A = this chain, B = another copy of it.
Amino acid sequence: MKATDSRNLHGHVIRELGKRIVIGDLRPGDILPREEALAESMDVSRTALREALKVLSAKGLIESRPRVGTRVRATHFWNQLDADVLSWRCASMPTDDFIEKLVEMREIIEPAAAAAAARRRTAAQLTQVDLAYRKMEAARDPDEWAAADLSFHDAVLQATGNELMISLFSVVESALGMFFVLSAKTAGDFSYSLPQHQKVLEAIRRKQPEVARKAMQSMIADSLANLHKKRKGSSKKAS
């Protein structure tokens, strides 16, 4: 699911430089070495390096000008919603601060998506949500449940018919996934939230936006509380 394909050489350069910028190894205002020198130091041709620089430039991380060089741009120019930028940040940030921002985004999107899905869903889209719910019901182990859960939320998003919302969710979700998909799988009783999913499903079936919104809201709140409880427990165990 990675955006940059690291099979390719310039993809590797993109990641390498991108990470160094996002992590803070290269800070805003800094001027990168000349293309020739930089290319040599990374063992690629200037052509390949420039292709990478153009991509980073499109992500808003850098800016190149003749004679002056390539400089790292201020963070408010960065394409924060870019899948790569997000994943690079996730790969570096040890603080919980950034995770909370991601969670906040999820808390905003999902209830709104549930409401929109309840308002505008087609019959086919409802079928997809229903199908995902039944897979959750039928899940016998955490792996199956996690996969079905993901497809449930995905089906709800699809039912909104708003590709901007879908895109936003998928970006945030994949970034968040790096953190607590695993902890979700280690839950003792993985199906505790099944009734709440059912409430969301029924509200969407009956086209009741506000009911769907509330149900999704409480579901996320519970999920977060559960996660916090677990984290507290594990940190206790670790200390």
**Footprint of B on A, CB under 8 Å?**
3-4, 10, 14, 47, 50-52, 54-55, 57-60, 75-76, 78-84, 101-102, 104-105, 108-109, 112, 116, 162-168, 171-172
Given contacts A51-B54, A58-B55, A168-B81, contact A75 B163 (CB under 8 A): yes
Chain B residues, Cβ within 8 Å of A79: 82-83, 167
Nearest first, the 5 closest Cβ-Cβ pairs linking A and B are A80-B167, A108-B112, A55-B58, A51-B54, A101-B162
Chain B residues, Cβ within 8 Å of A165: 101, 104-105, 108
Chain B residues, Cβ within 8 Å of A14: 58
Given contacts A101-B162, A105-B164, A163-B76, contact A3 B60 (CB under 8 A): yes
Chain B residues, Cβ within 8 Å of A162: 101, 104-105
From B3, B54, B101, A163 is in contact (CB under 8 Å) with B101
Looking at A83, A102, A163, the one whose CB has the most chain B CB atoms below 10 A away is A163
Give the CA-CA distance A3 to B108 in the complex, in Å.
Answer: 26
B76 and A166 form a contact (CB under 8 A): yes
Give the CA-CA distance A104 to B54 in the complex, in Å.
Answer: 32
Give the CA-CA distance A112 to B82 in the complex, in Å.
Answer: 21
Chain B residues, Cβ within 8 Å of A59: 58
Looking at A54, A60, A104, A166, the one whose CB has the most chain B CB atoms below 10 A away is A54
A104 and B116 form a contact (CB under 8 A): yes
CB nearest neighbor in B for A105? B164
Give the CA-CA distance A112 to B55 in the complex, in Å.
Answer: 32
Give the CA-CA distance A51 to B47 in the complex, in Å.
Answer: 9
